[in-house]
Structure 1
Amino acid sequence: MAAHEPEIKSSVSFIPCFLFVELVLMAGTVILSYHFEYTDTFPVHSQGFFCYDSTLSKPYPGPESSSRVPPRLLYPLITVLPVLTILLGEVSTALINPRWGNREKIISCGDCCFFNPLLRRIVRILGLFSFGLFCTVIFAGAVQTVTGNQAPHFLSVCRPNYTALGCKSHMQYIASPYACSGDPDLINEARKAFPSKPAALGAYAAVYTTMYVTLVLKVKGSRLVKPSLCLAMLSPAWLLCLLRVAEYRNHWRDVLAGTIVGGAIAVFLVTCVLNNFGSSSSEEGDLIEKEQEGVIEDEIPLPTACEKIAVVKVR
């Protein structure tokens, strides 16, 4: 029927805004996150330490590649799983609900350029997810650079000469930037512990995907499917935080701060930018659909006692 066809909205600024604003911002975040992650453009603050500090004397756990959750496993998990979940959710929603297009409009940018509602929604959700990942890397890297908080294994890679430094008590503070004699690269990495970047990325991906499942996906006939999916997506992030602490790569406060950072960025983007994935409009569409199917009947209010008395008096 023509009444159920998606509306066409004409927009002249859609393509220019996408090319010259959104793509430029995305490119800027990618470049900035690359500099924080793989270059020495922003030097890390050299924070001092106390002599014989037991909280910084844990054994060196080895490079990140030897971790139980190495980067080659972490980065695919925080990117592939959310993307697959969102793609399956959007496609299944469009196929199962025939009136899905009623709440989305086709964007027309001339006589030849028409943007499909499903494709536009997928690009919007996944594009913002990617933008949030890079923002999480930038924010965590900026805080690490400014604070320079040491990892639990800092003194194991620093290898300070306590005799030459004149350490006589545990309360003596060493502020010299030349106190370490170990590998400079390992020392530099050991100074970037707060907040934990893997914990922040894991929390961001888990919270973003969990909010998508909670707000968008609808499973009829079962109340345990969605909570089970949400717990299954949150559990790897929790396990990652525990492993970071157990392997002496981060303090508990580092992973807690990283979790808060990643979760806060995900909640902000979903609620303030995506408007909860448009769940309010979808709920209105479901109500309209139920009304059209006759599931929701119009309620006729019964006359009150005062109205009955007024009718008797008029008669």
Structure 2
Amino acid sequence: MAYERAWVSMRSLVILAGTVLLAYHFEYTDTFPVHLQGFFCYDSAYAKPYPGPEDASRAPPVLVYSLVTAVPTVMILVGELAAFFLQPEARQEKTIISGRCCYFNSLLRHIIRFLGTYSFGLFTTTIFASAGQVVTGSQTPHFLSICRPNYTALGCQLSSGTLYITDKVACTGNPALVAAARKAFPSKDAALSAYAAAYTVMYVTLVLRLKGSRLAKPFLCLALLCPAFLVGVVRVAEYRNHWSDVLAGFLTGGAIAVFLVTCVVNSFQRVPRPAQPPLPVENVASVPVVDLPCVESSLDKLSMAQQLDA
């Protein structure tokens, strides 16, 4: 049993490491080139002004990534610590790691299980969003402001804007900015925000027990959902994504969170300790039988007295 648990833990670590490596290649390397999607001349859907670099946004990536990492971690730590110290039965739960000498505290086991699953889902969401961006090559609303195509050389003046441009060298702008402007669908920030919010809200709903007010838990859940919604609004308001990109990101992150909570951590249920297995039949005969002293009951004495009188 100990070797089986160790093997399962090793496989989980290998899968998590592979997920992190794949997310790194999608995010920081050119291993997966972006699909070059064409565009129409003077298309108003992609002619919005350039809002500036991502760091200048009202919801910069540093802030988004910090929130999706810190908020669920703090909520899970607080919830597990409260359950461990306020519920005596939780402190008695132990898990045998090796033989009968090494035990794994239930608090640490739950934290590793819930946070490990959350980390895996976070990188999985990144992979799904990045794969969608690479495969579709959908442009951002400010794509033409970055691309800076030479409409005269492309012949757009003669076609009155109905010409569909597929030339790879049509853009004269910064190649790095042009490549980033081709990664709009789905919105990665919206997907990560939705995943973090959905996972944390389900944890709060299924695990935490807040006393004192019926509105405390709904208020906390709405407070956790609001930042994710605001991230999507900011992405659209700053012309960094279309509404369709944000909605697709919300669906991607929410679906991954629901799947992991439902199928992997079983709705955050505490797995009870297995009951002591019954003694095998062949070993029952070998158990020594202890003779107990015989005690006569009052009914036996009464029946014997009636027989004597008769």
Please name the residue that 2:65 is paired with.
75
2:182 is the counterpart of 1:179? no
Q: Is the 8 A contact 2:94 2:103 kept in 1?
A: no
Deviations 1:225-248 (A, max 9, x none): 100100000000000000000000
The one of 36, 60, 69 aligned to 2:26: 36
Q: Which residue of 2 aligns with 1:155?
A: 144
Cross-structure match for 2:89: 99
Matched residue of 1:107: which SS?
Answer: strand
**How far has the Cα of 1:105 moved from its partner?**
4.3
Alignment of 1:277-288 (within 5 A): 277-278=268-269
| Counterparts of 1:106 and 1:87, CA distance in 2 | 19
Taking structure 1 as the reference length, what is the TM-score of the superposition? Answer: 0.83
Aligned to 1:207: 198
Give the counterpart letter for 1:271 in structure 2. T
Whether the 8 Å contact between 1:14 and 1:109 is mirrored in structure 2 is no
In the alignment, the residues of structure 1 paired with residue 235 and residue 112 of structure 2 have an alpha-carbon distance, to the nearest angstrom, of 33
Asked if 1:191 corresponds to 2:182, the answer is yes
Match of 1:45 in 2: 35
* Structure 1 counterpart SS, 2:50: coil
Structure 2 residue aligned with 1:298: none
Q: Cα distance, 1:108 vs. partner?
A: 2.9
**Structure showing greater Rg:** 2
2:116 equivalent to 1:138: no
Q: Which runs of 5+ in 1 are unaligned?
A: 1-9, 282-315
Count of residues in correspondence between the two structures: 270
- Determine helix, strand or coil for the equivalent of 1:122: helix
**Whole-Å separation in 1 of the counterparts to 2:109 and 2:4:** 15
CA deviations on 1:255-309 (whole Å, 9 max, x unpaired) are 000000000000000011111000697xxxxxxxxxxxxxxxxxxxxxxxxxxxx
Aligned residue among 199, 209, 212 for 1:218: 209
Structure-1 residue corresponding to 2:12:
22
Is the CA contact 2:85–2:91 (under 8 Å) kept in the aligned structure 1?
no
Structure 2 match to 1:242: 233
Deviations 1:212-234 (A, max 9, x none): 00000011231011001000000
Structure-2 separation of matches of 1:196 and 1:41: 20
What corresponds to 2:112 in structure 1? Answer: 123
What amino acid sits opposite 1:55 in the alignment?
A: A
CA distance in 2 between partners of 1:265 and 1:237 (Å):
15
* Percent of paired sites with the same residue: 62
Q: Please tell me whether the aligned partners of residues 203 and 263 of structure 1 are also in contact (alpha carbons under 8 angstroms).
A: yes
Q: Structure 1: how far apart are the matches of 2:207 and 2:108?
A: 16
Matched, 1:88 2:75: no
Asked if the contact 1:150/1:191 (under 8 Å) is kept, the reply is yes
Q: Which letter maps to 2:37?
A: Q
Letter in 2 for 1:223: R
CA RMSD in angstroms, aligned pairs only: 1.4
1:254 pairs with 245, 248, 252, which one? 245
1:37 maps to a residue whose letter is E
Report deviation, 1:115: 1.3
Shift of 1:110: 2.2
- CA distance in 1 between counterparts of 2:7 and 2:171 reads 53
Query: 5+ unaligned residues in a row in structure 2: which ranges?
Result: 273-310
Q: Is the 8 A contact 1:85 1:209 kept in 2?
A: yes
Q: Is the 8 A contact 1:241 1:255 kept in 2?
A: yes
From 103, 106, 131, give the equivalent of 1:114. Answer: 103
Distance 1:234 1:118 in 2: 27
